[in-house]
Structure 1
Amino acid sequence: MAPGLNVCIIGHSYIRRLKEYCSNKGIINLRLDDSFNVTLRGKGGLRLRRLNESAGLGDRRELFHFVSPPDIIFLQVGENDICDLTSCEKLAGDLISVAAYLRDGVGAKIVIIGQLIRRLPFAACNGFNDKVVKTNIQLEIRTHSLPGIHFWRHRGFWHDLNYLGPDGVHLCCTPSHDQPMRKFLRSIRNAVIQSPSLLRPV
């Protein structure tokens, strides 16, 4: 049997909480078969500007250290930088810069940038959700023709904000209401499933 594709999911508290959810539910490998080997690396409060510093510093050393390069990296980060950004265009550019480092510096074959997710107004700075939308538009446009870097739209988070928990920031995930977390898991799982087609020569 051929070895599975190595997949690494990197991001802020959404990924840390996803890892905890999977552990608590006994979910292994994002419910994927053994053609994939999935690792989740999440750090609460993670900011993109820390990831965009020079190699070997801060979170890059912790989150971007690999024994061997992953085939696929899914990146969920950027929301924690919205309130400090100078422009949505710059944030999108910084995200793509990190993705390019993962592709060219780390050696990942495919880097997927996850769509930024909105928050409840009381838990965010003024205009947060508008900036999220504008940044996502920039990401989709600017990654369209980039080799090895792709933008992923999360499904099920755009009709309303009912997916958010009481803190207004994180996905609702209680024993009686874990549907938002299940949707998030399924979205990332679908991104990973579709990735092998992106590895085919064009």
Structure 2
Amino acid sequence: MVHTVLIFGHSFVRRLDSFLYRNREFGWYNLGFDGTEIQVEFASLGGGTLRPGPKCIQKENFMHIFHTFKPNTVFMQIGGNDLTQENYPDKLARDIVSFADYVITVYGVSHVVIGQLLPRYSGSSGHDYNEKVNKVNRWLDLSLKGRVNITFWHHRGLWNNTASLLIDQVHLNNAGMLIYAKNVRAAVGSSKRK
């Protein structure tokens, strides 16, 4: 039986989908999986937020992918856009976990992987943006230890040298996107084994 995986989130997911398509001749189609065991689908919204608003990822016209694709596993890259306005990072972290629980309960998803939020170097994100990212990541990491149906994924190779891997102080350049793709692939592979 094919294991279906949905890669879900904001512009990082959209850019990952485009990157993989451009690099399909190098084996990156379907996130590098052959498709007989794991089938990958992408759903993304540039500027997407967890909080209510015009780009809220929880709107039905965006969430319909859960009905049509029926994923076994969901990899989520969410929360980064919310942090520009969020004063309470721990509340955002709790809301991310609540959304993951909602997806599990309502749509029958077996496992959710929450991707580590990444730093930004844009002044428009706020002077304390990266500090808030650290708080959200720390809260997610600690609170999800011991959970069997939700995993927090640390993006290896994207933290210490992130500034050199960004194209516009927010989004990853090609070198950064390759590292990100490898991380998402590893997260998907590890979630299938759970």
TM-score, with structure 2 as normaliser = 0.89
Question: CA separation in 1, counterparts of 2:77 and 2:22?
Answer: 21
User: Which residue pairs with 2:178 in the alignment?
Assistant: 182
User: Which residue pairs with 2:193 in the alignment?
Assistant: 197
Q: Pick from 6, 9, 23: which aligns with 1:8?
A: 6
Question: CA separation in 2, counterparts of 1:62 and 1:74?
Answer: 19
Cα distance, 1:159 vs structure 2: 1.4
Secondary structure, aligned partner of 1:49: coil
User: Which residue pairs with 1:115 in the alignment?
Assistant: 116
Q: How does 1:1-202 map to 2 (within 5 A)?
A: 3-26=1-24, 27-33=28-34, 34-50=36-52, 59-65=58-64, 66-67=67-68, 69-160=70-161, 161-165=163-167, 167-172=168-173, 178-198=174-194
- Kindly indicate whether the alpha-carbon contact (under 8 Å) linking 1:119 and 1:168 is maintained by their aligned counterparts in 2: yes
Question: CA separation in 1, counterparts of 2:45 and 2:137?
Answer: 22
Cα distance, 1:58 vs structure 2: 6.6
Question: CA separation in 1, counterparts of 2:13 and 2:59?
Answer: 16
Cα distance, 1:84 vs structure 2: 1.4
Q: Say which is worse superposed, 118-127 or 36-45, in terms of deviation.
A: 118-127
> Which consecutive residues of structure 1, in runs of 5 or more, have no partner in the other structure?
52-56, 173-177
Question: CA separation in 2, counterparts of 1:145 and 1:85?
Answer: 27
CA deviations 1:90-132 (Å, max 9, x no partner) are: 0100000110011111110000110000001434201000110
- Kindly indicate whether the alpha-carbon contact (under 8 Å) linking 2:83 and 2:132 is maintained by their aligned counterparts in 1: yes
Amino acid corresponding to residue 185 of structure 2 in structure 1: R
- What count of residue pairs does the alignment treat as equivalent? 185
- Kindly indicate whether the alpha-carbon contact (under 8 Å) linking 1:123 and 1:168 is maintained by their aligned counterparts in 2: no
Relative to structure 1, is the Cα distance of residues 16 and 109 closer, same or farther in structure 2, using a 3 angstrom cutoff?
Answer: same
Amino acid corresponding to residue 67 of structure 1 in structure 2: T
TM-score, with structure 1 as normaliser = 0.86
